[in-house]
């Protein structure tokens, strides 16, 4: 399991605590510190399209209309913290966020 998030994100921290409590130790990718590879960006965009961008974020609000008009892959490459979090990649596919359905999928509940 690969876990894409931010170490400063409350939702990401909650998700990691819950996963570790279930005995799952994912490979953590801090998108601010580690960035996103081209392959990961491509896979995230294929899985989630435009919904991979968190349009409620402080980063998004600080962008000009011209920058916001870029495609999702370009935005994630330039501003990886725009990604909705966490994004989790497993052999079964990709999930985004940490709502009840995602929790059930990863925690077996």
Chain centroid to CA 21:
21
Residues 67-86, buried b or exposed e (16+ Cβ, 10 A)?
eeeeebbebbeebbbbbbbb
Q: Please identify which of the residues 9, 31, 53, 89 carries the catalytic annotation.
A: 9
CA dist., res. 59 & res. 79, Å (int): 8
Question: Catalytic site residue 9?
Answer: yes
Q: What is the number of other CB atoms lying within 10 angstroms of the CB of residue 36?
A: 19
Q: Are 30 and 5 in contact (CB under 8 A)?
A: yes
Write out the catalytic residue numbers. 9
């Amino acid at each position: 399991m690969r876990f894409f998030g931010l170490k400063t994100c409350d939702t990401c921290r909650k998700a990691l605590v819950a996963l570790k409590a279930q005995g799952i130790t994912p490979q953590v990718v801090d998108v601010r510190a580690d960035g996103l590879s081209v392959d990961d960006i491509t896979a995230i965009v294929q899985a989630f399209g435009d919904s991979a961008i968190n349009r409620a974020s402080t980063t998004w609000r600080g962008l000009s209309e011209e920058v916001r008009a870029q495609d999702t892959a370009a935005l994630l490459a330039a501003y990886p913290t725009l990604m909705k979090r966490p994004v989790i990649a497993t052999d079964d596919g990709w999930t985004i966020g940490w709502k009840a359905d995602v929790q059930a999928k990863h925690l077996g509940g």
